[in-house]
Structure 1
Amino acid sequence: MTSATPTLTHHTEHNKELVLERTFAAPPELVFAAFTQPEHLRQWWGPRGWTLTHCTVDLRPGGRWHYCMKCVDPAQGDFYGMESWGLGIYQEIEAPGRLVYTDYFSDAEGTINEELPTTQSILTFEEVDGQTRVVSRSVYATPEALKTVMDMGMLQGITETWDRLAEYLPGQ
């Protein structure tokens, strides 16, 4: 297999959808597993300098993915020691080709933070010449909700997260 596309491509649609795309040097079954199994997610999910301290997955429609990212890099200044909790609730699972879930900011108990934007995440995993093209469509309720997450550094965070996935996959 050749190496993965080195960069994430992105664009917005309708002022409230963020579409991300990247090709990874691994088959769809492995990439799908990396997005849905705690033992994989713990190895790569989160921006550089962050680690998953909590990760549970109940992979079924109506099931939950509950996780906590913690900044463990003192060089990240004010972010060092910070925790960010998330909760995904799955709507569709078509392994290894499609995954749909609603992603919320939450707390340690899984209580949804109503003050922060909700994301409808639609991911497709397509085999292309022995690799996997992942397309992630993140749909927000309003253009302001999309702007909020972009202002929070979401694009840099997901770019670093997917870089970590590209580094992790070859060893699997």
Structure 2
Amino acid sequence: MTEDLTLTITRQINASPQTVWRCLTEPELLVQWFAPKPVEITEVEVDPTPGGIFHIVMKVPEYGEMRGPSGCVLLAESPTRMVWTAALGPGFAPNPPHTNPDDFYMTADMRLEARDGGCFYTATALHATPQAVVAHEKMGFYDGWGTTAGQLAELAEHYQDSP
């Protein structure tokens, strides 16, 4: 039996997959929902093409800036799926190993499915080891990613059908 190395959240959003895709791939929209408030995103760069960059910098109250290496988009199928990883940088170049043993790389798989007049959003974090899964859960995966899914829904519903 293979051990499950994933963490997943889902959300039904009252907006089209095209609108949710915009919120996922347009930096000026992504910055508004991708971190659970009061965390702020201070920098964002997204190129939703295979080999493109996925990079964010977060400012966490009472912690400071979280700046990791740029990630790499592995798959971009507008408006249904985007997969990116922190293990690789832009152009599929490997990122250097972490120097902190508590850090881990992960791959994010964001799926958007037209359902019930809106978008069924599934966000999955894939990890290399059971220890990374536990560490991500302890960091507050379900609260954090659940909060951001709610922020995404609110933003997408606001931008629904806008150009």
State the TM-score, normalizing by the size of structure 2: 0.81
User: Structure 1 residues 43 and 26, CA, compared in 2 at 3 Å: closer, same or farther?
Assistant: same
Mapping for residues 60-99 of structure 1, pairs under 5 Å: 60-71=49-60, 79-80=61-62, 82-86=64-68, 87-99=70-82
Q: Secondary structure at the match of 1:163?
A: helix
Report 1 or 2 for greater relative contact order, CA contacts < 8 Å, sequence distance ≥ 6: 2
- Cα displacement string for residues 85-123 of structure 1 (whole angstroms, at most 9, x for unaligned residues): 24331011110011111135x9xxxx7561411112222
Unaligned residue ranges in structure 2 (runs of 5+) = 90-94
Q: Which runs of 4+ in 1 moved over 6 A?
A: none
Mapping for residues 32-71 of structure 1, pairs under 5 Å: 32-71=21-60
Give the Å deviation of 1:14.
2.9
Aligned length: 148
- AA at the equivalent of 2:143: Q
Percent identity of paired positions between Structure 1 and Structure 2? 29
What is the alpha-carbon root mean square deviation over aligned residues?
Answer: 2.1
Moved more, 32-41 or 114-123: 114-123
Unaligned residue ranges in structure 1 (runs of 5+) = 1-12, 72-78
- For the 8 Å contact 2:82–2:110, the answer to whether it is kept is yes
Structure 1 residue corresponding to 2:84, chosen from 74, 81, 101: 101
2:106 counterpart of 1:128: no
Give the Å deviation of 1:16.
1.2
